[in-house]
Every structure is written in C-alpha cells, then in structure tokens.
Amino acid sequence: MIDAAASALPADLIQAYRAAHYRVLTAPPLLLRIDRPDPALANLLSAHGANRAVLLTASNPASALLSDNDNAQRHTRLLDALAQRKLLALPARNESPKGDWPNEASVLILHADIELGTELAMAFGQNAFVAIACDATPRLVLLR
C-alpha cells in the first residue's frame, strides 16, 4: 500500500480513481464512492457474513487502454482465478462520471482482505484497487 504523496502515479490519475463510480451489479445496484461509508454495502456484507471485501478489475492494466476483446478475456481469466480459489465474487463495473474513460467490468470479492486484493491486482497489472473493511467504507489502495 502506497500513500498518494509517495505514489509514482500522476496526481490526476489518482484523482480519477478517487472520483470513479464503483457500481456493484446487485438488485438494486450499489453505487460505491471512495471514502464514503455505505449502509447498503454494510447490509450486503452482513447478508453474506462478510466483514471485508475488495473490488477490482482486470481491464486496462496500468491504465493503458486495451480492446474490448482483450479486456473481456482478462475479465474471464480473473473470474477463473476466483473460481479456482472458491471465492465469492459479485459482478461490478467501474465507471467514469465524466464519461472520459470506458466502463470496466470488475468484481466485488467478498471475504477478501487487502493482501489478497494486492496479490490479484498485481497479477493483473493494476495500479490500484478498492478495499472495504468492516466499516463499509470503500478505500483506494495504490500499488505504484
């Protein structure tokens, strides 16, 4: 985990991650925002007996745009990796509120801690991911 001040990532990229909408595709969908506690997320975690989760994508590694096909293949590999570990993952989507970046398929992995999130995000070349602890507050975790 890297502090924003010590990160090698450009400040505008970190700000884009912080401003992104992280939508969990449940019924009804949850719209998660960084550093904003979410009672509906707390209820979702509780319903699954989880006190933590991570939300991550396999798309566009290191914020380098890939084709839709390449991103779909990467997402399938992420789902396969989660299935092999028998991890419960709910479908999600990362969205730019400004519309200046394409939506990215992602997953909310229940019962996952920061260490597992770091391992998976690094394996898929990501700069960051979202960690959620028992307070149901999504927090940005920078890896570079």
Give the span between the Cα atoms of 22 and 34, in whole angstroms. Answer: 8
Residue range 39-89, pLDDT digits in tens: 999 999 999 999 999 999 999 999 999 999 999 999 999 999 999 999 999
Worst-scoring range by mean pLDDT, 9-18, 59-68, 86-95, 118-127? 9-18
User: Mean pLDDT across the chain, nearest whole number?
Assistant: 95
Q: Where are the alpha helices (DSSP H) in the chain?
A: 11-19, 39-47, 68-84, 114-123
pTM of the model: 0.94
